[in-house]
Amino acid sequence: MAMRQAMAQAEVGDDDYGEDPTVNELQRLAAQLLGMEEALFVPTSTMANLIAEPCCFVPHTALPPRTAPDVFLVCRPRPPPLSLRSCFTAALSCPSDVPLPAPGGSAARREGGPSARLRTGRGCTVNMARWGRAWLWVPSGLPTLTMLSWAQVAGVHSQVLQDLPDGTLDLNELESRVRVGYGSRYHPHSVLICLENTHSSAGGRVLPLAYLREVRLLADRYRLRVHMDGARLMNAAVAQGVSPAQITQHCDSVSLCFSKGLGAPAGALVAGCREFVAEAWRIRKLLGGGMRQAGVLAAAARIGLEHMEETLQRDHRNARRFAQGIWELGSPICSVDPSAVETNMVLVTVAVPWLSPEKLCERMQAVSEEEVAETGRAVSVRLFPWAAHSLRAVWHCDVSAQDTQLAANKLKFVAEQCWWERGAAP
């Protein structure tokens, strides 16, 4: 209610000309909170991350000239919901050629190249990686559309690196990738390291501050910049008990999403030094991101910032409570590691081969007559099939402790029903 009231009463102007006082105040507060010189309000977090890449080449940087830059991403492979060809055809809407090597190797791997390549539009290259016995497109910890937009719009080479279970990178591997092209005229110049905090594919894990310092030192050695996808940056700050600026001090630029944990209906921002944000304004205009009476959205974002400590701590408690309930259930069908739940995400492992995450999610959302008769309630829970053997649950400001308990009870009921349908008692 407070957020809607703030939106209704927001003082507005033409943000495209810098005349919206509510947006200007939000940008000032956010820059101060993040320890950056300036910040720029944009419609979406995807746009914020896309803006960050070309801004790496503004004149104040001491980076190599822009030829064909490399961008290093933190990622974890997981199966895409569609085939490679259909995913990229739908997402890029341009001619593509997706060679899928046969199991057992490919010419690219034997010659020391990347596992596979997809070439699409403007000659950009996206590296692929192998997972198990299948050759799959690797979605980054960064949003998939961010990676695609960097390739399609900015024309960069994105080198996707395997992350560790806690969401960090093997820094020795990262440095070895950087050294390949360092000082060479025959390789793309590396210019940017991108991190995601918290790390989505690791189940909302928080990147340790000591790790961020090591990344910063590595970047400085090779004159690289560091950008942080801060879609859940405030979750990380609350979980670690530090100010957001203590995290972003190791970064040159950062994005922040207001429509996830902070609960606003839309909006994000990108922050950095003054020259960076000046160029970011130009790129925002290029992408069609200029808005008029944007103060309506900025007012909601500010309410989200003001209440983030209370909201996010509640989300984290609910996520831990849900994970603990699954662990105590001891079901042979699903399991979770409570120690890996650090923020508002829970990755649930589906432990039986005869039940897919997609099917379990369908049963969690559906309401049956048997459920109503046995529990006295009709509960529908929306979960996300995350990988071949796991699903993801995410908490936000509209999910209460009572909702969390109902979700845990629903999972217990569904797990028992699935087990009995297989002809065995748990």
pLDDT, one tens digit per residue, over 392-419 is 999 999 999 999 999 999 999 999 999 8
Report the relative pairing of strands 345-350 and 334-335 from DSSP bridges.
antiparallel
Find, among 394, 173, 191, 238, the residue nearest to 247 by Cα: 238
pLDDT at 117 over 50: no
Total-model pTM: 0.79
CA pair distance 15, 294, nearest whole angstrom? 6
Phi, psi values for residue 129, rounded to 5°: -140, 160
**H helices present in 81-125, as ranges:** 84-92, 107-110
CA pair distance 162, 74, nearest whole angstrom? 7
Query: What was the pLDDT predicted at 421?
Result: 85
Cα dist from 363 to 299, 329, 368, whole Å = 38, 18, 9
CA pair distance 123, 97, nearest whole angstrom? 11
DSSP letters spanning 136-164: E---BSS-HHHHHHIIIII--EEEEEEBP
Query: What was the pLDDT predicted at 260?
Result: 93
Query: What was the pLDDT predicted at 93?
Result: 36
Query: What was the pLDDT predicted at 122?
Result: 39
pLDDT at 330 over 50: yes
Q: What is the mean pLDDT of residues 79-88?
A: 38
pLDDT at 32 over 90: yes
Query: What was the pLDDT predicted at 420?
Result: 87
Query: What was the pLDDT predicted at 422?
Result: 80
Q: What is the mean pLDDT of residues 280-308?
A: 94
pLDDT at 115 over 80: no
